[in-house]
Every structure is written in C-alpha cells, then in structure tokens.
Structure 1
Amino acid sequence: MQGGLAASYINMTDDEAVDLARERFGIEGRPTRFATEKDDTFRIAPASGPRFILKVANPIEDIPEIDLQVQVLDHVAARAPDLPVPRVIPNDKGERHFNYLDRAGQRRQVRMMSYLEGQPLSEVPSTASGRAEIGKLLARLRLALADFSHPSDSRVVAWDVKNLLTLRDLLAEITDAARRRKVEAALERFAAIETRLKQCRTQVLHNDFTRSNVVVDESLPGFVSGIIDFGDTVRTAIAIDASTAMLNQLPVAMDGDVFADGRDLLGGYLSIADLTAEELSLIPHLIFSRLATRLLLSTAMANRVPSVAAYVLRNNEQTWVQMDWFIARSMDEISDQLMSFAK
C-alpha cells in the first residue's frame, strides 16, 4: 500500500528514543509516545525549556519523501515565518534528517522538530470565529507553498483523494456487503468527476488538514497555535486540500445544514485566497471521496496491522453515517452546497 501505511515493523522503545535524542541532538528529556499510523513519534520533554518531537520513520519510507517533508517546513519558515509550523532541529552533524540503524536492526530516517504547544482542535469546542481562523490559516499555508517544488512532490500518497480509484482493490477488505456497496457507489461518483478534477489548479499542499493536525490555544488572538504532521504533503488539487479541512467540520449526526460549520471555515479561507466556481462545485464531492478513502485505508490497515486498529478505526462509525447523507442525495444537489460563495 502506498506510503508504507500497511507495513509492519518493530517499534522503537522509549529508552532507545531517549538515548537517540541525547546522543544525536544533545536533548535530554522524558519521552511520551504518540499514536500514529506508520512511524514512531515521541515528545521529548526536558526538565525545563521547550519540548521537542522526535520522529523515527517506518523502515520502508523513502529518503527523498522524508526530505520533501523537511524541505516543506524549511520553505514555510522562510516564506511565512509567522505561520505556526514545526521548526526542524539539526543533529550533532548539522543534518536535518539522517539514516539510523535501530536496535532491532532496522534502517530508519530520523528527524527532530520543535513541539507546538496547545490542544488538538478535536479536543476543543468549535466556534464560528475559531473555524474562520482555521480557514485563514489553511489559505495562508497554501500561499506560502505556492512556489515550492521538490523532486518527490508528485509522489503517490494513498490519502491523496485524486488516487481514490487506485484503491479499488481494497474493497475486499470491507467484509460487510451492504457497506462495501456504499463505498463502491462513492468510487462511481468519483469516476464521474475525475476528469473535471484533473483540470483544476494544483500545487504542493498539506493534504491532511484535520482536527488532529491543527493545534489551538483559546487564549491566542489567532486561536491556532500550530499546524502539524506534514507526512501526506504532496502536489495535488487545491480543491482537495480545502475539502479535507471541510470534511472535519461535518456534524456527527448529519442533521440540518451539514455544511454550516464548514461555511465558517470556507469564509475565512476565501478572505485570504480564492477558489474558482468549479473548485467550489467539486469540494462537496471530494469530501465524499475522502470519506471513502478513509474507510478503505483504515479498514485495510486494521486488517493487515492489527496493532494500529484502534487508532485507525476510531472515526469509522461516524464516517459511515456521513457516507449515508451523501449517498442519499443526487450529484447536482451535492454540487450546489457551496455555490453561494462563487463570485
């Protein structure tokens, strides 16, 4: 599966992470392991001063793709230094990422970054002003990356919605026949818009602007204190990047105006950067496609790597409810949801 999402490996121990941080970065601290899909991520907390993030890549991840993620962060820091993204910390040799043979005999890429303080957006009550600020931040990040390029920026990322039809073989991972038919319907609808999507504007983008990857501090005027996890960064459609953020504003029960909260985010976004009428028309369909992507990938990962099942399946029951809302409506009705923003 693309991006190493289903590759098993031996997890690094907390003790090895502590030694690695001390020996290669001169940082002594207490480790906290974070749940992730495909790597080992630790927060390293010294007795005083700032905290840090130590990321140890899955052994099958490509070095050029790790370099892409590092260079994206460096580019944003140079283009828009006020944007709250992690800063890369060089090791004892000045390297921003490096090859490491771990104690289990696995060769892995290692990097250290600053830790952005705050709470995940998923743990904070949502407000209209907060949603608008999130939209503004996504738009500013897009503009900061507008001129970025890298030899690996067109890599194939499983979570990039434009690749949805390449995941068709994963339908067999969904054993419930009725649910599998719902995902098949989503693939058919994506096929109907794929040609239009290919004609839309593209650039390198975050591609995973979810509630888990936005860190907030309610005491800050701008609300958002951090944008994290650039692991799915890729050159993709601007509409796809916006749709991922919009998906995470859908209500759990899907009652009433299900795009009400998303419109707050979109209004903030459009105050900074533009979206064409075609992009606005496609975004609701791309939200539906992202739901299908989530169900296919999370189910396959849980089946193939049971140790990550609880983490990757945590949103699936809510996702099935959201799928039902889209399936019950025509493509034209879905296309019209955001057209009030078109100019």
Structure 2
Amino acid sequence: MSETGDLLSTLPPDLSEVEVGALLAQHYGLRGVLKRLTSERDLNLRLEDDQRRYVVKFANCAEPRGVTDFQTAALVHLEGKGLPVPQVVRTGSGATEVETPAGLMRVLTYLEGMPLHLAPKTAAQRAGMGEMAARISHGLQWLDHPGADHVLQWDIRQASSLRPHLPHVPDDLRALCTATLDHFDAEVFPRLAACRWQVVHNDLNPHNVLVDEADPDRISGVLDFGDMVRTALVCDLGVAASYQVDPDKPLESLVEFTANYHRILPLTEQELRLVADLTMARMLTTISITSWRAAKYPNNAPYILRNFPLARAGLLALSALHRDAVSKALLRACPME
C-alpha cells in the first residue's frame, strides 16, 4: 500500500485539549482556548490567545517523519516570498517541530478569511485562483527535499493505482471513470516524463483556499501543504483547475483559469495539450478515492465526500467536449513567448 493508503486507513492522533495545552505551554510558551478542526488524517486544533490565533498540528503516526519535515521545510522555503501562506512558529529553543508520544507537533500562524467553498463563484475569482496557483508553484521552484519523492495516491501521475477503487464508484459513473483511466494510462502518463518537474502544492481545493470576506474575488490565503509532492508541474495545474471548472461552461472556465496561470508562469505547448486530460484525471482521482473512503468510513462520509459533487459534474461536463477543440482553445488563449 502507498504511504497515502496507510495514512487514509489510520486514525488521527487522539489527545485531549488539556494534553495539547500542556505541550503548548511547555514548548512554545503559548496558552489560550483550543478548538478542534476537521481533518481526515491529522489532529488539528485552533489556538486562540489574547493577541492572535494559531493552528496546532499533530501528524498521523503513519506519516513518515521525512514527509512531515518536507511540509515544514516548504513553508520555511516560502517565507519572505510575499505569499499568503501560514508561517511556521518556532519553539522557545528555535525548533520548527516537536517530537511527542502522540506524533510530530507543529504550530502555524492562523490565516483569516472566508473558505473559498463558501464564497460566491465569479470569473474574477477564477482568474485570481489561476494566478495564485501559478504564484505558489513559482514560489516552490528550487525547493529540494528528500521527502519530495514519496509515493502519494493523490498525485495525478499515480492514477493507475486507482483501479482497485473503481468498484466503489457509483454505477452511473463507473464506465466513464474506467474510460478516463484507460485514456490516462495509454495517452497521458507516457508524456509526463518529458514535462517540467518540481515540488508542487497538489491540493488547491476550495477547502484549502481563503478569500477576503469583503472582496471574495481576492484570494487571501492558501492552506494545507500536506499533499505536496515532486511531480510534473502541469499536474498541479490540473489539480487546481479541477475545482474551477464550471459545469455549465466547462471550456470557457477551464480556458480562463489556465490563461491566468499562464500569464504568471508560462506553460509549454506540450503542457497545454495535457491540461484537460490532467484536469479530468484529478476529477477521477477525487471520485475514486472519496467513494472508497466513504464506504470504508461511513460515519465520516459527509466530510470525505465534500468535493465529490463538483468532481462528478466537472468530469461529466469535460468528457462531453472534444479533446482537440479544448487543446486548440487553450493554445489560442495562451500564446507562447
């Protein structure tokens, strides 16, 4: 089983608020009110003291130490780059992480804003998401870490490993998901090796992005670097785009998003020709993994399936388009330098 498979099958750490509070006071000198946050695989809490808020994270015991350290290293790497991402809070001795019996503990600054999934959707917001996705990828360029090459089931290039999960996909979607995966294996995966590779965020879904409450078109925060991996750069674009496709106008919305990404971080012709297929592959990934996990953990199904409806609608909409027509539209909207 992949690291992600172990993680998704292992319950998060279990500590009481009193125990967490004692660790915070001991290592960080922080005290305040703690509130548990929803998470699939880690234990996350919000700490609020008299002056500011923090996020307290305890890594899943199934997550290798190198992967957790990779996430911390990425946030440190992004410091000073003008990006709206959490900052790593140091302990009293200057450490970025603390080893505890319950798992590796980290404290991050808390970003204020409205979760993107609660905000009204607009073309301007979609354009802002395209730009932000490119800025995050640009900021992560040159990051090198031993944990970057771990096997992650949410990495689009690992889509072939999803076949065992297809029986859990609803009957009316299974044939489409199978056909999408067949096309990926035959036509998409072999072309990824020739693309640019780097560390990417890999999870710009609407629950990991914040917008300004007064101006929901402005992206104010990017959260959760837990799915980072080194992969083809354009795979990350496919991830972010999969949540920005409007099922009522799939071609227009995909082109808008990609063109704004391209304006910040120019894509090659080869990468542009892969955008639609990789976007569909991410939708397939979301549908397959969440269907499997919802069957395995029915009590947590509403949370697990939170992105399922959007992925379903998007995959149905994009699959109705002719691939060549989509590629031509993307190439017209994204001129080469």
TM-score (norm 1): 0.89
Tell me, in whole angstroms, the C-alpha distance in 2 between the residues paired with 1:270 and 1:10. 40
Report the Cα offset of residue 37 of structure 1: 1.5
Going from structure 1 to structure 2, the CA distance change for 1:29 and 1:263 (only over 3 Å counts) comes to farther
Counterpart for residue 98 of structure 1: 98
2:33 alignment partner in structure 1: 30
Identity over aligned pairs, percent: 31
Query: 2:119 aligned with 1:124, yes or no?
Result: yes
| Partner of residue 73, structure 1 | 75
Q: Which residue number corresponds to residue 88 of structure 2? A: 88
Say which of 5, 9, 13 aligns to 2:8: 5
Residue 58, structure 1, aligned to residue 52, structure 2 = no
Residue matched to 2:292 = 300
Question: 2:277 is matched with which residue?
Answer: 285
- The residue aligned with 2:179 is 185
Q: CA deviation at 1:230?
A: 0.4
Q: Deviations over 1:21-62 (max 9, x none)?
A: 22322111212222112111111111x211000011111111
- Point out where structure 2 has 5 or more consecutive residues left out of the alignment: none
Letter in 1 for 2:84: P
Q: 176-185 vs 284-293, which deviates more?
A: 176-185
Q: What one-letter code is carried by the residue in structure 2 that aligns with 1:84?
A: P
Distance (whole Å) between structure 2 residues aligned to residue 196 and residue 330 of structure 1 = 19
Give 1:219 shift: 4.4
Say whether residues 1:160 and 2:155 are aligned partners: yes
In 2, Cα distance between equivalents of 1:262 and 1:335: 11
Q: Matches of residues 243-282 of structure 1 in structure 2 within 5 Å?
A: 243-251=238-246, 254-255=247-248, 257-282=249-274
Residue of 129, 134, 139 corresponding to 2:129: 134
Q: Spell out, residue by residue over 1:280-314, the C-alpha distance to the aligned partner (whole angstroms, 9 max, x if none).
A: 11111111100110111112222233443221112
Letter in 1 for 2:31: E
Indicate the SS of the match to 2:235. helix
| Gaps in structure 1 of 5+ consecutive residues | 103-107
The root-mean-square deviation of aligned C-alpha atoms, in Å, is 2.1
CA contact (8 A) 1:249 1:259 kept: no
**Contact residue 7 and residue 305 of structure 1 kept, 8 A:** no
Q: In structure 2, do the counterparts of structure 1 residues 51 and 276 end up closer, same or farther at CA, with 3 Å as the change threshold?
A: same
Matched to 2:282, the amino acid is R
Instruction: Check 1:223–1:33 CA distance in 2 against 1; reply closer, same or farther (3 A cut).
Output: same
- CA distance 1:126–1:323, shift in 2 (3 Å): closer
**Alignment partners' CA distance in 2, 1:236 and 1:45:** 36
Q: Report the CA distance shift for 1:317/1:118 in structure 2 as closer, same or farther (over 3 A).
A: closer
Q: Deviation per CA, 1:47-91, whole angstroms, max 9, x where unpaired?
A: x2110000111111110001100000001114x1x1111111122
Which of 216, 221, 224 is equivalent to 2:219?
224
- How far residue 201 of structure 1 moved from its aligned partner, in angstroms, is 0.9
| Equivalent pair of 1:205/1:241 in contact (CA under 8 Å) | yes
User: Is 2:140–2:199's contact at 8 Å kept on the other side of the alignment?
Assistant: yes
Contact 2:114 2:213 survives alignment (8 Å): no
Q: Tell me, yes or no, if structure 1 residue 148 matches structure 2 residue 140.
A: no
- How far apart, CA to CA, are the structure 1 residues paired with 2:312 and 2:156? 18
Distance 1:112 1:155, change over 3 A: same
Q: Deviation of residue 276 (structure 1)?
A: 1.1
Distance 1:312 1:305 in 2: 9
Q: CA, structure 1 residues 262+326, in 2 after alignment: closer, same or farther (shift >3 Å)?
A: closer
How far apart in 1 are the matches of 2:47 and 2:254? 35
